C-alpha cells in the first residue's frame, strides 16, 4: 500500500471517529427548565452560532442569511448575517423577508386538512368529486387520484417547475384546469417530460401542480368563498399572529403589503465568481410556494404542530389531525421514487419525516425560489427545538439537493448535536478563540495523526521539528490562508493530540473529552474550511 493510500485510510478513520462524536446520541429526560428566556446552555449555543455562521457563509459565498431558533413554544434567538441586497449594501436583519418557495406547501396542506376537519373535503375521496366542469384523467389508467395522493406526491403527476412566468400569472381557477389539459409539463416548453408518468399511488414524484390542485380545492370549496390567499390569511396566518407573513398569488408590490415589500431580500444566482440578481419569476402554481415571511414568523407553524395544532391559545388543527399529517404515509428511498433518500426518510401529508419513531425524529420541509433563495425549517419534537434558516442564494452549477441547502443543513446539525449533548449532560463551553486559532488547532491535530498514528511512528515530533513547520508554513493567498493561520493554535493542536493514546479508541475518547479545545459541532465546519468536500465522511 502506497503512502497516499495509507494517508487516505487514516484520514477516513480519523474523521469517521469525529463524525461519530458529532452524531453521538444519548437522550435522557429533560431537566426542569425556566418557562421563558434562554437557559445558560442555550445562550452558549447562540454565542457559538453568532461566531461561526459568518465563517460558514463566507465559505459558501452566501450573500445573506437569517434564522430563528425556538424551544418551549417560543422563539429564543434570531440571527442575521451578511446582506439582503449587495448592490445597495442593505444588511440582512431578523425582520428581512424571504421568498420561501416550497415551504409554502405546508401552509396549503394545513388549509386542506382544516377543510377535512370541517367535513368539506374527504382525505381519501377522488379529487374529481370536487371539480365542476372538468375532470382529472390519468392517461396511464389506474384508479382515480385522491386528495391523499396529492398530499403525498403519489398522484402519478410528473415533476414540474410550478408553471413559472415573468409576467402576471393567470388566476388559479384558470390555470389549474388548463395545466391538466396539456399532455406535457412546463420543462423546456413541454419537450422534457409528459404531465403523467405513473398511475396513482405507484410512486413518489414531487409535483408542484399537485399542490396547486389542492390550493384550487381550498379556493373552490371553502364555505366562505374566499380566494386561496384570503383563506390561508384568515385561517392560518392571522390566528398564529404571523404579522410579517403573507401568501400572495403574485410576489410583487401590487399583491404584497407595502410594509412587507419594503423588507424583502434580493435573491442571487451563484455562478462561479459571480452572484447575479435573479429576475422576478412568478408561479401559476402559486399554492405550491409563494409565501413571503421572516424566520421568527414562519417558525410558528412548526411550534403549533409541535403542540398538537395550538399555539398561544389559537388552534389551527385538532391534535388527531396533526398526528395524521405527521404519520409516515410512504417510506422514501425506493428505486422508483423521484428523490431516493435514506431508509429512515418518509413522507407524511406533505411533511418530510426523518427517523420517525426515534428519539431524534424530525419533520421538516425545504423551499427554494428560482434562482435566488433557498430555505429550510425543521422541528425535532423529542428535543423540543425548531429551527428556520433562510438564505438569499441558489448555486446554479451545483444544484444537487444537498448543495442547495448546505448552509441550513450545517446549522441545523450544529443545533441538533448541541441539544442532544445538553440532554445527555455533556454540554460544555470552550474558551473564546478566533476562527483562525480554531482552524490552526485542528490542523495541528491532523498533523499529529498523519505523522504518528497513520504512519505508526511512536516517537513524537521534537520541538525543533514543530518550530520548523511553524516557521515554514506558507498560507495560500487563493484560500485566504493568511487570515486563517495562527501558530499558537497549531502548536496547541500538536500538543493536545500528542499527549493522547493514538489508537482509534484513544483518539475517539479525546474528541469526546474536555481536552478538545473546539466544539464538536464546529468540526464539520472546520473540515470544510480545510478543503473537505461536503460534511464529515460517514463513520466506517
Q: What is the DSSP string of 146-164?
A: BHHHHHTT-SSBPP----E
Q: What angle do CA 146, 149, 154 make, to 5 degrees?
A: 140
- pLDDT of 390 > 80? The answer is yes
Predicted local distance difference test score (pLDDT) of residue 35: 53
Distance CA 152, CA 145 (A): 11
- pLDDT of 1 > 60? The answer is no
Mean pLDDT of 445-457: 97
In the chain, % of residues over pLDDT 70: 90
Mean pLDDT of 8-32: 36
Confidence (pTM): 0.90
Predicted local distance difference test score (pLDDT) of residue 33: 41
Distance CA 350, CA 198 (A): 19
Report CA torsion sign: 441, 446, 452, 453: positive
- pLDDT of 350 > 90? The answer is yes
- pLDDT of 252 > 60? The answer is yes
Predicted local distance difference test score (pLDDT) of residue 427: 86
Q: How many CB atoms lie within 10 A of CB 299?
A: 25
Phi and psi (nearest 5°) for 450? -65, -40
Phi-psi category of residue 366: left, alpha or beta, with phi > 0 → left and psi -120 to 50 → alpha? beta
- pLDDT of 533 > 90? The answer is no
Q: How far is CA 23 from CA 13, 20, 115, 386, 418, in A?
A: 15, 5, 40, 18, 10
Distance CA 76, CA 244 (A): 18
Mean pLDDT of 69-96: 98
Distance CA 450, CA 10 (A): 7
Predicted local distance difference test score (pLDDT) of residue 315: 98
- pLDDT of 119 > 90? The answer is yes
Predicted local distance difference test score (pLDDT) of residue 308: 98
Predicted local distance difference test score (pLDDT) of residue 13: 41
| Joined grid coordinates for residue 295 | 424566520
Helix (H) or strand (E) run with residue 314 in it:
strand 314-315
HEC per residue, 88-124: CCEECCCCCEEECHHHHHHHHHHHHHHHHHCCCCCCC
* CB distance 460 to 444 below 8 Å: no
Predicted local distance difference test score (pLDDT) of residue 76: 98
pLDDT digits (tens, 9 = 90+) for 392-440: 999 988 776 667 899 999 999 999 999 999 999 998 889 999 999 999 9
Instruction: Identify the structural domains of the chain with CATH numbers, from first to last.
Output: 78-90+99-423 (3.40.710.10)
Q: Considering only residues 192 and 34, tell me which one the structure prediction assigns the higher pLDDT.
A: 192
Q: How many CB atoms lie within 10 A of CB 465?
A: 12
Helix (H) or strand (E) run with residue 85 in it:
strand 74-85
> How many residues would you count in the chain?
540
Predicted local distance difference test score (pLDDT) of residue 404: 84
pLDDT digits (tens, 9 = 90+) for 208-245: 999 999 999 999 999 999 999 999 999 999 999 999 99
Strands (E), 322-437: 330-331, 345-347, 352-354, 362-369, 373-380, 385-391, 393-395
Which pLDDT band, with edges at 50, 70 and 90, does 335 fall under? low
Distance CA 503, CA 509 (A): 10
Which pLDDT band, with edges at 50, 70 and 90, does 480 fall under? confident
- pLDDT of 538 > 60? The answer is no
Among 397, 338, 408, which residue's Cα sits nearest to residue 373?
A: 408
- DSSP string across 51-70: HHHHHHHHHHT-SEEEEEEE
Predicted local distance difference test score (pLDDT) of residue 334: 60
- Judged by average pLDDT, the poorest of 23-32, 365-374, 404-413 is 23-32
Predicted local distance difference test score (pLDDT) of residue 342: 52
Q: How many CB atoms lie within 10 A of CB 505?
A: 9
- pLDDT of 191 > 90? The answer is no
| Joined grid coordinates for residue 421 | 449533548
Predicted local distance difference test score (pLDDT) of residue 336: 54
Among 263, 252, 253, which residue's Cα sits nearest to residue 90?
A: 263
Task: Show contacts of 481-484: CB within 8 Å, 24+ apart.
Answer: 483/436, 484/435, 484/436, 484/439, 484/440, 484/529
Predicted local distance difference test score (pLDDT) of residue 148: 98
Predicted local distance difference test score (pLDDT) of residue 428: 86
* CB distance 245 to 369 below 8 Å: no
Mean pLDDT of 14-37: 40
Q: What share of the chain is helix, strand, coil (3-state, %, to 5)?
A: 40, 15, 45
> Cis bond leading into 371, ω under 30°?
yes
Task: Specify the residue for cell string 494517508.
Answer: 7
Among 72, 217, 164, 222, which residue's Cα sits nearest to residue 368?
A: 164
- pLDDT of 469 > 90? The answer is yes
Q: Considering only residues 319 and 188, tell me which one the structure prediction assigns the higher pLDDT.
A: 319
Mean pLDDT, the chain, as a whole number? Answer: 90
Q: What DSSP designation does 144 have?
A: P
Which pLDDT band, with edges at 50, 70 and 90, does 57 fall under? very high
pLDDT digits (tens, 9 = 90+) for 139-157: 999 999 999 999 999 999 9
Amino acid at each position: 500500500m502506497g503512502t497516499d493510500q495509507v494517508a487516505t485510510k487514516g484520514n477516513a478513520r480519523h474523521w469517521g471517529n469525529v463524525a461519530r462524536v458529532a452524531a453521538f446520541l444519548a437522550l435522557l429526560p429533560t431537566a426542569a427548565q425556566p418557562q421563558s428566556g434562554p437557559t445558560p446552555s442555550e445562550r452558549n449555543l447562540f454565542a457559538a452560532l453568532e461566531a461561526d455562521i459568518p465563517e460558514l457563509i463566507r465559505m459558501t459565498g452566501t450573500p445573506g442569511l437569517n434564522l430563528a431558533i425556538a424551544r418551549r413554544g417560543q422563539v429564543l434567538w434570531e440571527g442575521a448575517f451578511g446582506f439582503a441586497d449587495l448592490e445597495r449594501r442593505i444588511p440582512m436583519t431578523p425582520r428581512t423577508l424571504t421568498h420561501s418557495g416550497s415551504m409554502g406547501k405546508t401552509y396549503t396542506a394545513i388549509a386542506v386538512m382544516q377543510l377535512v376537519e370541517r367535513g368539506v373535503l374527504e382525505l381519501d375521496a377522488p379529487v374529481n368529486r370536487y371539480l365542476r366542469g372538468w375532470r382529472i384523467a390519468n392517461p396511464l389508467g389506474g384508479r382515480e387520484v385522491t386528495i391523499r395522493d396529492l398530499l403525498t406526491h403519489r398522484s402519478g403527476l410528473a415533476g414540474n417547475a410550478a408553471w413559472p412566468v415573468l409576467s402576471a400569472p393567470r388566476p388559479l381557477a384558470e390555470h389549474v384546469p388548463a395545466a391538466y389539459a396539456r399532455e406535457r409539463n412546463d420543462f423546456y416548453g413541454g419537450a422534457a417530460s409528459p404531465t403523467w408518468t405513473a398511475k396513482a399511488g405507484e410512486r413518489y414524484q414531487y409535483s408542484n401542480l399537485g399542490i396547486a390542485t389542492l390550493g384550487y380545492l381550498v379556493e373552490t370549496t371553502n364555505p366562505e368563498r374566499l380566494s386561496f390567499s384570503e383563506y390561508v390569511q384568515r385561517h392560518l396566518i392571522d390566528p398564529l399572529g404571523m404579522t410579517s407573513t403573507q401568501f400572495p398569488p403574485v410576489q410583487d408590490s401590487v399583491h404584497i403589503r407595502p410594509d412587507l415589500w419594503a423588507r424583502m431580500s434580493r435573491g442571487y444566482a451563484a455562478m462561479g465568481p459571480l452572484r447575479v440578481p435573479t429576475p422576478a419569476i412568478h408561479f401559476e402554481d402559486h399554492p405550491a410556494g409563494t409565501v413571503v415571511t421572516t424566520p421568527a414568523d414562519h417558525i410558528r407553524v412548526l411550534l403549533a404542530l409541535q403542540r398538537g395544532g395550538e399555539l398561544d391559545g389559537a388552534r389551527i388543527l385538532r391534535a388527531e389531525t396533526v398526528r395524521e399529517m405527521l404519520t409516515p404515509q410512504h417510506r422514501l428511498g425506493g428505486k422508483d421514487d423521484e428523490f431516493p433518500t435514506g431508509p429512515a426518510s418518509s413522507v407524511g401529508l406533505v411533511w418530510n419525516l426523518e427517523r420517525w419513531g426515534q428519539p431524534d425524529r424530525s419533520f421538516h420541509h425545504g423551499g427554494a425560489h428560482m434562482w435566488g433563495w433557498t430555505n429550510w425549517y425543521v422541528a425535532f419534537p423529542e428535543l423540543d427545538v425548531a429551527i428556520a434558516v433562510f438564505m438569499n442564494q441558489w448555486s446554479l452549477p451545483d444544484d444537487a439537493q444537498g448543495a442547495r441547502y448546505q448552509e441550513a443543513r450545517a446549522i441545523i446539525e450544529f443545533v441538533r448535536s448541541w441539544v442532544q449533548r445538553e440532554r445527555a449532560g455533556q454540554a460544555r463551553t470552550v474558551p473564546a478563540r478566533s476562527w483562525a486559532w480554531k482552524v490552526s488547532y485542528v490542523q495541528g491535530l491532523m498533523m499529529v495523526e498523519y505523522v504518528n498514528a497513520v504512519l505508526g511512528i511512536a516517537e513524537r515530533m521534537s520541538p525543533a521539528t514543530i518550530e520548523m513547520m511553524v516557521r515554514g508554513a506558507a498560507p495560500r493567498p487563493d484560500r485566504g490562508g493568511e487570515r486563517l493561520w495562527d501558530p499558537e493554535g497549531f502548536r496547541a493542536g500538536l500538543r493536545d493530540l500528542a499527549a493522547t493514546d493514538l489508537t482509534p479508541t484513544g483518539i475517539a475518547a479525546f474528541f469526546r473529552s474536555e481536552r478538545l479545545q473546539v466544539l464538536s459541532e464546529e468540526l464539520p465546519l472546520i473540515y470544510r474550511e480545510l478543503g473537505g468536500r461536503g460534511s464529515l465522511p460517514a463513520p466506517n
